[in-house]
Amino acid sequence: MHDSSRLHPNYNSTNYNNDIALFKLQTRAEFSSTVGTICLPNEFVANVGKRAVVIGWGKISIQGIFPSKLQETFVEIKNNSECSFYNLQKTQLCAGISVGDIKDSCQGDSGSPMFINDNGRYYLAGIVSYGRSKCDGFGVYTNVFEYLSWIKKTMKYN
């Protein structure tokens, strides 16, 4: 499936800082209705208040039930101060929905994309990192924009 992987050299498994990795595929991906490309973000993609989509195969209930099909939910990028209990870094994003039933990613979604549709182009704004164990609060996402130089350098030399 993949030829090699590159975990960020400063990844911290205790607090999940620098929770990002790159995979090099053995062969070119075959594009289809379910496989495509996504744009790397610019500085305006992950602004506070933007609506984003999160997809994944993580739990759909706190009882540990996993879905039989890919799940999708909408979240809003929040100010990191709204997730102050996580003590976030600028390399992390806080996101979720706070009206009605709180929606967010859940256990098993780590590594899944959080993307934003901007005029028909999809941008990878974040990567699911972690959240509350009951999946009932705002989640923490790796802020992809903050890693653009590392991504480009790693892709160039690997």
Task: Classify residue 55: in a domain, yes or no.
Answer: yes
Residue 68 forms part of a structural domain: yes
pLDDT for the residue numbered 59: 87
Q: Is residue 157 part of a domain?
A: no
Tokens (6 digits) for 67: 């879905």
- Tell me, yes or no, whether 135 lies in a domain: yes
48-70 pLDDT tens trace:
999 999 999 988 877 788 889 99
Which of the four pLDDT bands, split at 50, 70 and 90, describes residue 101? low
Asked, for residue 69, whether it belongs to a domain, the answer is yes
- Return the number of other C-beta atoms located less than 10 Å from residue 19's C-beta: 23
What is residue 136's predicted lDDT score, i.e. its pLDDT?
Answer: 73
Dihedral sign, Cα of residue 135, residue 136, residue 142, residue 143:
positive
Residues 132-147 have a mean pLDDT of 87
Instruction: Evaluate whether residue 129 is within a structural domain.
Output: yes
| One-letter-per-residue 3-state SS of 47-63 | CCCCEEEEEECCCCCCC
Which one is predicted more confidently, 45 or 3? 45
Q: Say which CATH number the domain at 101 has.
A: 2.40.10.10
pLDDT of 18-53, one tens digit each? 999 999 998 999 999 888 899 999 888 889 999 999
Q: Please give the model's pTM, rounded to 2 decimal places.
A: 0.90
In a domain, 9, yes or no: no
pLDDT at res. 88: 93
Question: 78 is in which domain, residue-wise?
Answer: 37-146
Number of domains within the chain: 1
Work out the number of other CB atoms within 10 angstroms of the CB of residue 61: 11
Please check whether residue 17 lies inside any domain of the structure: no
Q: Is residue 3 pLDDT above 80, yes or no?
A: no
- Cα angle 29, 20, 112 (rounded to 5 degrees) comes to 60
